[in-house]
Amino acid sequence: MDTAVFKKTLRSETLRRRDALSPDFRAKAAHEMAERVDEFGIAKGTVVSGFWPMRTEVDVHPLMAALAESGARICLPAILDKTTIVFREYFPDGEMIDMGFGTMGPSETAAVLDPTVMLVPLVAFDGRGHRIGYGAGYYDRAIAGLHAKGILPRLIGVAFDCQQVEFVPDEPHDVRLAEMLTESGLRPFEPG
């Protein structure tokens, strides 16, 4: 099967499973994930990128609040154009603007930061640490941009267990996740 067709099928099947989770289950899971903040071992002052959840993605607001309370600086992606995102500092009471795709991000007045830890949204992931998103490639390009600056961010996928699939086809530009956070906990992927 063609890789693009296979990824499209994976997206559709995985989103159907994620969408079937009840709002109560999703809210409880999000709070349980936030309670695991000590497991992250993130030093005070570390810049962590979160994300504004789309559709039925994990609501990382509780996790971002817990990370900020532990001393991390939080930033969110801001979409500049069809190919580029930057990460702007996020404060819960700061001005937010529509970024399209049902997401919000800090306004142009927020500081642009380079995260060293990234909470990465995704549609599906496999046991090797490969992921697929919605297909626009924003995160792949943002990570490549950080690499070009000499920054190798710690990549932590955030999803529900039902989003794990047997295999995600990977391409040369794809960057593997280092770890995965689900309602079952934070787990590392084997290097490779």
Please report, in range form, the residues annotated as the binding site for substrate: 57
| Backbone φ and ψ of 154, nearest 5° | -75, 120
Instruction: Identify whether the C-beta of residue 6 lies closer than 8 Å to the C-beta of residue 128.
Output: no
Candidates 86, 50, 88, 89; CA nearest to 67 is 50
Q: Where are the beta strands (DSSP E) in the chain?
A: 47-49, 73-79, 85-89, 96-100, 103-106, 117-120, 124-125, 131-132, 154-158, 179-182, 185-188
Environment class of 139 (CB within 10 Å of its CB; exposed 0-12, middle 13-18, buried 19+): buried
Binding residues: 7-11, 57, 131-139
CA pair distance 18, 20, nearest whole angstrom: 5
Binding residues for ATP: 7-11, 131-139
Environment class of 16 (CB within 10 Å of its CB; exposed 0-12, middle 13-18, buried 19+): exposed
